[in-house]
Structure 1
């Protein structure tokens, strides 16, 4: 679907210069002289390169719709992660680098959403929150004030996160997978 340069919004996926780009930041500029334009920071979805581009309102770009499919995480195999399509039961292997540091939050049977373009995976989104157990937590230091006195803790998957002083080892907490941060105690 073709859109004008002034209709680009953050999160849009565009086909530009023969490859796929995601609009990260969009700033509309109206200089005193000349026509208005959109200054767009683009990130290449295939290799991660960044590009700053100006699009005038008369310019048209191809906006791409990505197919979203649910996959179930099965297991880890060396440097690869194996997922199964929930509809066709086909298995797909993705490298840990594709998922990034959030791969530590994958749990057996977890449902993730893969963004596909022409049957090729180009993005993955995990559930927003996961429940994990605290493996190690520092002891509370007496005299610390309650305001923003978080302490370091290590989760069962080895990821370090800052938690409030009342959280101890062995407790389960809810963690935000995007921010890699403490949300609340698990029920």
Structure 2
């Protein structure tokens, strides 16, 4: 059994300023990435990483640090990369939330809601609407039960079908976030920019 290698924000900041900085892969949606990301990070959304893992890891011979909002998606990405044979993988402990809380700089763009907040809004809206609607149409309560069951399964399996669906919406997709673009960035871009 492999233990997950984590790195804290201070250690990552120091490594980014070293002569051989790690590659930082941010596995959040392009919308989340555009809102705020670590300078020099590459946006490789979790679903894209899973789908094109073998193509992407051909260009990851350096140490890799995975970043997401709080660490859950990065853990899934880490498992996928390790299963493909990549061993020099770390997860930023606490994700971008911990990075910002520690006072480290991020590049900011258009503010957007993170994926977890979107899931809470959609799930809560469906439950509220179906319960209120069940006054007139009693069978609508089963829609609320279905959402509750889906959320329970999501917690137990550490996956989220609603989150995966929301990640595909135009709001969360970037215009240039596809496998060829990501590979081109990994090949042609500097490994990392210095963090201020």
TM-score, normalised to structure 1, is 0.20
Q: Of the two, which has the highest radius of gyration?
A: 1
Looking at secondary structure, tell me which structure has more strand per residue.
1
Greater RCO between the two (CA within 8 Å, min separation 6)?
2
- Give TM-score, length-normalised by structure 2: 0.19
